Amino acid sequence: MKHGEYKTPGGKLVVADFAVCDGVVRDVVVSGDFFLYPEEALTVITGAVEGAPAESTADEIAGRVRAALGPEVTLLGFTPEAVGRAVRRGFGDA
Amino acid sequence: MSAMDAMATRQAIETVTARWRGIGWQLLGEEPMAPALNVALDEVLTRRVGAGKRPPTLRFWTWAARAVIIGRFQSVRNEVNQDAADEMGVTVVRRISGGGAMFVEPDKAITYSLYLPEEYVDGLSFTQSYEALDSWVVAGLRDLGVDAWYAPLNDITSAEGKIGGAAQARRGRAVLHHTTIAYEMSPDEMVRVLRIGQEKLSDKGIPSAAKRVSPLRRQTALSREAIVAHLIARFRDEFGLADGQLTPDERAAADRLVHKQFATEQWTHDIP
């Protein structure tokens, strides 16, 4: 299992725990001290990261998350980019 | 935030809070409750206010036991040293709002919840609503000589450090806003039970989580009870506030939720 953390400066912590299976990201859990409305949108975020190729950049992961989120969702203290950064940290990137 | 944005925010908050006067606010006073019951009541009372079955409500909490209250989206394994919690007799419960873990001890924390229909925050962004819903507390602390101010998104702070933090959840057209203020703190026990990694402190410019917080006891000679009494009086003056009680039905609904959800391992470890 891989584990990465990224804190948006002035914002909140995003933690990504996941496995890598056949070159893709699997069993993703995104957690942290952020705020998200509605709360069920977290399943949309984790669903968007699930299946991402292991070589995806932070921006590519952010793009998957952004594309999956509807306009009714509000992220406070983090962004899709922060999710991408947390996943990359899980791979040991700075 | 630019000076112009800050002024626009202040005006938006003043306009909205002016509408909170005389809307029938009810006070639920301090009654010591188990941690799981406290978080279950937030769910029940938010829904009742949203359904129009309860007036807008201010509830002050009293903790019957030491507890770690973790945010809706946090991982227990990442945030809590479970062995230390077990040794110390600290209960871990998950609340319905986001935000960070807090370690609370009876008589050392001041916690309150506000429950109000969403229409009373119309015109405010989520971020502005946090500041608006704590504005009476910041004013109340300043009355008492504490040089407090609001630090968006969700902190009440001072030159000496953070005083408290807020979190919100929304349920069926109602807003839950709850805030915990540190009156006293046991920094050694806090760092034993909470795992606070370096990444979380990466932009704080300070070496440890314990040093980040400056409890009120360090900033005023007043008792916890005197501070709570003043905050209640301040709210009453500003918005009107009648003394109320939990109904037996609300209490029974919360007790049921404790058993079905809030005291279960499944909920405590559930991340959406």
Exposed/middle/buried for residue A18 (C-beta within 10 Å: 0-12, 13-18, 19+)? buried
pLDDT band at B211 (very low <50, low <70, confident <90, very high): low
pLDDT band at B80 (very low <50, low <70, confident <90, very high): very high
- Does residue A89 or residue B32 have the better pLDDT? A89
Q: Residue B232: what pLDDT? A: 98
Percent of chain B with pLDDT over 70: 96
**Count of CB atoms situated within 10 Å of the CB of B119:** 11
Judge whether B216 and B163 are in contact, CB under 8 Å.
yes
Q: Residue A29: what pLDDT? A: 97
Contacts A12 to B, Cβ<8 Å: 100
Q: What rounded mean pLDDT belongs to chain B?
A: 93
Q: Residue B153: what pLDDT? A: 93
- Model confidence at B197: pLDDT above 90: no
Decide if B73 and A40 are in contact by the 8 Å CB cutoff.
Answer: no
Mean per-residue pLDDT for B212-241? 95
Decide if B170 and A9 are in contact by the 8 Å CB cutoff.
Answer: no
Which tens digit of pLDDT belongs to each residue from B12-35? 999 999 999 999 999 998 788 999
Closest residue in B to A5 (Cα) is B199
- Model confidence at B225: pLDDT above 80: yes
- Comparing A47-51, A73-77, B198-202, B217-221, which segment has the lowest mean pLDDT? B198-202
- Model confidence at B110: pLDDT above 60: yes
When scoring B1, B68, B72, B73 by the number of chain A Cβ atoms within 10 A, the one with the most, hence best to mutate, is: B73
Which tens digit of pLDDT belongs to each residue from B144-168? 999 999 999 999 999 999 999 999 9
Decide if B98 and A76 are in contact by the 8 Å CB cutoff.
Answer: yes
Decide if B271 and A43 are in contact by the 8 Å CB cutoff.
Answer: no
Decide if A15 and B78 are in contact by the 8 Å CB cutoff.
Answer: yes
In B51-161, which residue ranges form alpha helices assigned H by DSSP? 76-79, 82-88, 126-133, 135-143
pLDDT band at B1 (very low <50, low <70, confident <90, very high): low
Decide if B271 and A33 are in contact by the 8 Å CB cutoff.
Answer: no
- Model confidence at B210: pLDDT above 70: no
**What are the E-state strand segments in chain A?**
2-7, 13-21, 24-32, 35-37, 74-76
Contacts B133 to A, Cβ<8 Å: none
Percent of chain A with pLDDT over 70: 100
Residue A40 distance to chain B (closest CA, Å)? 6
Contacts A40 to B, Cβ<8 Å: 272
Residue A59 distance to chain B (closest CA, Å)? 20
Contacts A34 to B, Cβ<8 Å: 73, 98-99
- Model confidence at B208: pLDDT above 80: no
Mean per-residue pLDDT for B172-192? 93
Which tens digit of pLDDT belongs to each residue from B55-76? 999 999 988 899 999 999 999 9
- Model confidence at B122: pLDDT above 60: yes
Contacts A10 to B, Cβ<8 Å: 203
pLDDT band at A76 (very low <50, low <70, confident <90, very high): very high
Contacts B74 to A, Cβ<8 Å: 31-33
- Does residue B30 or residue A87 have the better pLDDT? A87
Closest residue in A to B172 (Cα) is A38
Decide if A31 and B78 are in contact by the 8 Å CB cutoff.
Answer: yes
Which tens digit of pLDDT belongs to each residue from B84-100? 999 999 999 999 999 99
Q: Find where tokens 């584990």 sit.
A: A3
Q: Residue A16: what pLDDT? A: 98
Q: Residue B4: what pLDDT? A: 78
- Model confidence at A32: pLDDT above 90: yes
d(CA A84, CA A62): 5
Q: Residue B204: what pLDDT? A: 66
Contacts B203 to A, Cβ<8 Å: 7, 9-10
Closest residue in B to A32 (Cα) is B74
Mean per-residue pLDDT for B134-151? 97
- Model confidence at B206: pLDDT above 70: no
C-alpha separations of B81 from B71, B75, B88, B98, B190 in Å: 15, 11, 11, 20, 10
Judge whether B28 and B57 are in contact, CB under 8 Å.
yes
Bond preceding residue B41 cis, omega within 30 of 0: no
d(CA B9, CA B6): 5
Q: Residue B169: what pLDDT? A: 97
Mean per-residue pLDDT for B236-245? 97
C-alpha separations of A89 from A7, A28, A48, B246, B257 in Å: 11, 14, 17, 47, 38
